[in-house]
């Protein structure tokens, strides 16, 4: 949001410069960890990213997961969490 044209004006003269800000890529500062859980239980997977509130998507085997009774997604600042309810073997 700081990108744009800036002007220094002395009253008699002025000079202009353009500022381009290159966004840093989002990286994982705390990656997902492998977990084990019992069938029927609930588990929460979490990871941390380098940019607070950057958009993340949760996927399983390439398919984007959507919020439902089974899947709950939560993001607070740089921490993203996926809670999976009523685990079955198909969730592995």
Full set of structural domains in the chain with CATH:
28-91 (2.60.40.10)
Token pair 């990213």: residue: 49
**What tens digit of pLDDT does each residue of 19-64 get?**
999 988 999 999 999 999 999 999 999 999 999 878 899 999 999 9
Rounded CA gap, 12 and 77, in Å? Answer: 47
Q: How many helices (H) and strands (E) does the chain have?
A: 0, 8
**Phi/psi of residue 30, nearest 5 degrees:** -140, 105
- According to the model, what pLDDT value does residue 53 have? 78
Q: What is the pLDDT of residue 57?
A: 95
**pTM across the whole model:** 0.76
User: Could you tell me if 32 and 47 are in contact, meaning their C-beta atoms sit under 8 angstroms apart?
Assistant: yes
């Amino acid at each position: 949001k700081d990108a744009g044209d800036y002007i220094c004006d002395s009253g008699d003269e002025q000079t202009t410069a353009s500022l381009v800000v290159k966004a840093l890529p989002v990286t994982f500062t705390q990656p997902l960890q492998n977990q084990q859980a019992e069938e029927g239980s609930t588990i929460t997977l979490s990871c941390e990213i380098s940019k607070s509130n950057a958009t993340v998507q949760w996927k399983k085997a390439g398919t984007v997961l959507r919020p439902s009774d089974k899947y709950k997604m939560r993001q607070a600042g740089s921490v993203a969490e996926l809670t999976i309810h009523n685990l079955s073997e198909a969730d592995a």
